[in-house]
Amino acid sequence: MEATTPTTVSKLNIEQIRRDFPLLSRDMNGKPIVFLDSAASSQKPNSVIEAISHYYRFQHANVHRGVYQLSQEATTAFEVARDKVRDFIHAPSSPEIIFVRGVTEGINLVASCFGRKFLKEGDEVLITAMEHHSNIVPWQLICEEKGAHLRVAPINEAGELILEEFEKMLSDKVRIVATTHVSNTLGTINPIREMVAMAHAKGIPVLVDGAQATPHMAIDVQALDVDFYTFSGHKVFGPTGIGVLFGKEKWLNAMPPYHGGGEMIKTVTFEKTTYAELPHKFEAGTPDIAGVIGLGAALDYIQEIGLDAITQYENTLLAYAIKRLKEVPGIRFIGAAKNKASVVSFLVDNIHPYDLGTILDKLGIAVRTGHHCTQPLMDHFCIPGTVRASFAFYNTVEDIDRLVDGVKKAVAMLG
Amino acid sequence: MSINEIQDEIIEEFALFGDWMERYEYIIDLGKSLPLIGEQYKDEEHLIKGCQSQVWLHAEKDNGRVKFTADSDAIITKGIIALLIRVLSNQSPDDVAKAELYFIDRIGLKEHLSPTRSNGLVSMVKQMKLYGLALQAN
Ligand SMILES: Cc1ncc(COP(=O)(O)O)c(C=O)c1O
């Protein structure tokens, strides 16, 4: 990748985009904020904030219940947002889009419902060594309950999945593969299409954690042929507390419901309840209506900028960041995958990430430090954690320059 | 000196610093210079796990006073530990158990003792006071 100065090659009007995000003009510790923690949660454009506010001011009523006009309008707005999600990930149909609280709940739903139906003693669930705790613990819980085993496909020193090892581990005991699309700690983009083809050749379904992929690249669940795909609204410039689980209809129909309650039933008697059709079967209770509408607005915003333009701009930002950070003596990058999203994890000499993060905070620079909820991955690299800078399309060359200056200053103080 | 006299002394010292950089440079120096704990105590039993940084703490009674030694893998955390030890070590168990620590706030390091920071320091202060209580008895 040639590290040209991003703004000169970008089709995006970054100045305009930054004005859409009110938070980016605030200060932190008395300095204009440099926000480099979008992988943890991204900031929100005005259009999202306004959509939520508009909904509460003019549209709110419970959905799918009232015969009156207002409830119909709320229901329409809610279902229009579901269609937007369907288009965003190119799902075949809207009933395959389940609203959940986020990736964590999406994975718990599948682990619990798929696991209850299809896992038995001695079976295996295959994950990778770079998973977020959200894609480890739910599987451990169901495996423990069922007497099944969690298997972990290894990675190489660059932080890439070793595909041949992964393929070898697809034994006839494996009932499901659960993998991240993009590593939140390393930025590694996994070869989902190849992984799915390998798993499907053995008749094994695949769940993909799309938390870190959806903010950065166009997703087509049909082209990837994944069985489940989940992502969080708050990482794609939408509200917190809302997320999406896509599941192929055949799997969603075969699985028992997750939560029981209103909305998810067809008929209830004390003897026997029959369940509603998809997607309602998995959406018990009053949903996060405002969150869904806010998410719809966020997806509109992203689509308007265009994911291909976003990927291209972020790639140049990433290359520029790596090039500039290499100026720091003693810097060591954790994760050097050939195929990488805009996440840079690093350490400098033996400086503790907490110390580096503390000084950067004082300089107005927000980065993440620690193990990023990927403790087994940190153990693999024998490090306590990293400093992670992650970029979104609203970040600039100047942000990276301030990061590099900040790191140099912190190293001078700490080294 | 009593716990509060030491706290006031530290507050006065910090008042001399011009900005946050000077304060942190001082903390970092403290963190770098002190041998804070015997290697034999840097084990699982003495470990206070924070999500961000870890702390090891040991206490013993010597001539009726509590002696604390501690360490951390992060220098800034360790520098703050050095201050906490300066305030609480060599005091009577009773005074340690009852101590009101106000100096951290006054020298502008409050955020390091916030429960959300998860660097092990909040639990460490709690643990120090518990040692104070436990060592009163014997
Ligand atoms: C790869 C990955 N998976 C799962 C999650 C959990 O997402 P949420 O907290 O939105 O449920 C995250 C968030 O940090 C993540 O980065």
Please name the residues between 329 and 358 in chain A that touch chain B, using a CB distance below 8 Å.
351-355, 357-358
Contact of A133 with chain B, judged by CB distance below 8 Å, is answered with no
Cβ distance of A413 and B77 shorter than 8 Å? no
A358 & A294 share domain:
no
Average pLDDT along chain B, 138 residues, taken 10 residues at a time? 97 94 94 81 86 88 94 92 94 96 90 78 89 86
Q: Are A343 and A375 in contact (CB under 8 A)?
A: no
Instruction: Output the pLDDT for position A11.
Output: 73
B75 CB neighbours in chain A (<8 A) are 351-352, 355, 414
Share of chain A above pLDDT 70, in %: 98
Q: Is A134 in the pocket of ligand 1 (CB under 6 A)?
A: yes
Q: Phi and psi of A175, rounded to 5°? A: -100, -30
Which position has the higher pLDDT, B118 or A335?
Answer: A335
Q: Is the pLDDT of residue A5 over 80?
A: no
Q: Looking at CA atoms only, how far is residue A321 from chain B in angstroms?
A: 24
| Per-residue confidence band for A10, with pLDDT thresholds at 50, 70 and 90 | low
Instruction: Output the pLDDT for position B121.
Output: 83
A127 within a domain of the structure (yes/no): yes
Nearest Cα to B131, choosing from B48, B37, B43, B68? B68
Contact of A414 with chain B, judged by CB distance below 8 Å, is answered with yes
Q: Are A354 and A204 in contact (CB under 8 A)?
A: no
Contact of A364 with chain B, judged by CB distance below 8 Å, is answered with no
A59 within a domain of the structure (yes/no): yes
| Per-residue confidence band for A8, with pLDDT thresholds at 50, 70 and 90 | very low
A285 & A362 share domain:
no
Q: Which two tokens stand for residue A255?
A: 């699985």
Q: Is the pLDDT of residue A218 over 80?
A: yes
How much distance in Å is there from the Cα of B51 to the middle of ligand 1?
A: 17
How much distance in Å is there from the Cα of A178 to the middle of ligand 1?
A: 14
What's A34's domain CATH number?
3.90.1150.10
Final residue before a domain boundary, out of A279, A303, A327:
A303
Q: Are A175 and A146 in contact (CB under 8 A)?
A: no
Q: How far is CA A278 from each of CA A50, A254, A266, rounded to the nearest angstrom? A: 30, 11, 11
* Pairing of β A243-247 and β A97-100: antiparallel
How far apart CA A318 and CA A4 sit, in angstroms, is: 11
Q: Looking at CA atoms only, how far is residue A210 from chain B in angstroms?
A: 25
- The boundaries of the domain holding residue A69 are 49-303
A344 & A216 share domain:
no
Instruction: Output the pLDDT for position A6.
Output: 53
Interaxial angle between packed helices A307-325 and A289-305, expressed in degrees from 0 to 180 and rounded to the nearest 10: 80
A215 within a domain of the structure (yes/no): yes
A262 & A122 share domain:
yes
Residue A198 half-sphere exposure, CB side, CA atoms within 13 Å? 17
Q: Are A284 and A109 in contact (CB under 8 A)?
A: no
B52 CB neighbours in chain A (<8 A) are 353-354, 357, 369-370, 385
Reduced to 3 states, what is the DSSP secondary structure of residue A275? strand
Q: Is the pLDDT of residue A221 over 80?
A: yes
Q: Is A138 in the pocket of ligand 1 (CB under 6 A)?
A: no
Q: Which of B25, B51, B76 sits opposite A355 (nearest CB)?
A: B76
* Rg of the Cα atoms in chain B: 14
Instruction: Output the pLDDT for position A1.
Output: 45
Q: What is the sign of the dihedral through the CA atoms of A134, A354, B53 and A159?
A: positive
Quote the strand ranges of A187-313, DSSP E.
206-209, 228-232, 243-247, 265-268, 273-275
Q: Is A12 in the pocket of ligand 1 (CB under 6 A)?
A: no
Cβ distance of A370 and B51 shorter than 8 Å? yes
A1 within a domain of the structure (yes/no): no
Q: Is A131 in the pocket of ligand 1 (CB under 6 A)?
A: no
User: What is A368-388 written as a DSSP string?
Assistant: EEE-TT-HHHHHHHT-S-EEE
Any alpha helices (H) in chain B, and if so which ranges?
3-15, 20-33, 75-88, 93-98, 103-106, 121-137
DSSP A219: -
Q: Is A103 in the pocket of ligand 1 (CB under 6 A)?
A: yes
A239 & A258 share domain:
yes
Instruction: Output the pLDDT for position A2.
Output: 46
* Range with lowest mean pLDDT among A23-27, A91-95, A265-269, B68-72: A265-269
A127 & A222 share domain:
yes
Q: Which of A29, A352, A413 sits opposite B74 (nearest CB)?
A: A352
What's B52's domain CATH number?
3.90.1010.10
A235 & A313 share domain:
no
How much distance in Å is there from the Cα of A162 to the middle of ligand 1?
A: 23
Q: Are B77 and B53 in contact (CB under 8 A)?
A: yes
Q: Are B99 and B63 in contact (CB under 8 A)?
A: no
Cβ distance of A353 and B77 shorter than 8 Å? no
Final residue before a domain boundary, out of A254, A274, A303:
A303
Final residue before a domain boundary, out of A269, A303, A337:
A303
Residue pLDDT, tens place only, A358-390:
999 999 999 999 999 999 999 999 998 999 999
| Residue A349 falls in which region: left (phi positive, over 0), alpha (psi -120 to 50) or beta | left
Catalytic annotation, residues of B: 51
DSSP B42: -
A284 & A315 share domain:
no
- The boundaries of the domain holding residue B73 are 3-137
Q: Is the pLDDT of residue A9 over 90?
A: no
Residue pLDDT, tens place only, A232-260:
999 999 999 999 999 999 999 999 999 99
Q: What is the mean predicted confidence (pLDDT) over A46-67? A: 95
Q: Is A179 in the pocket of ligand 1 (CB under 6 A)?
A: no
A376 & A271 share domain:
no
Q: Are A324 and A147 in contact (CB under 8 A)?
A: no
Which position has the higher pLDDT, A270 or A169?
Answer: A169
Domain count, chain A: 2
A401 & A368 share domain:
yes
How much distance in Å is there from the Cα of A138 to the middle of ligand 1?
A: 13
Number of A–B residue contacts, CB under 8 Å = 40
A24 & A86 share domain:
no
Q: Which of B24, B53, B54 sits opposite A413 (nearest CB)?
A: B24
Domain count, chain B: 1
Residue pLDDT, tens place only, A256-308:
999 998 888 888 888 888 899 999 999 999 999 999 999 999 999 999 999 99
How much distance in Å is there from the Cα of A86 to the middle of ligand 1?
A: 20
Q: Which of B20, B74, B77 sits opposite A362 (nearest CB)?
A: B20
Catalytic annotation, residues of A: 373
A210 & A174 share domain:
yes
Q: What average pLDDT does chain A have?
A: 95
Instruction: Output the pLDDT for position B114.
Output: 78
Q: Which two tokens stand for residue A95?
A: 């009933």
Q: Is the pLDDT of residue A214 over 90?
A: yes
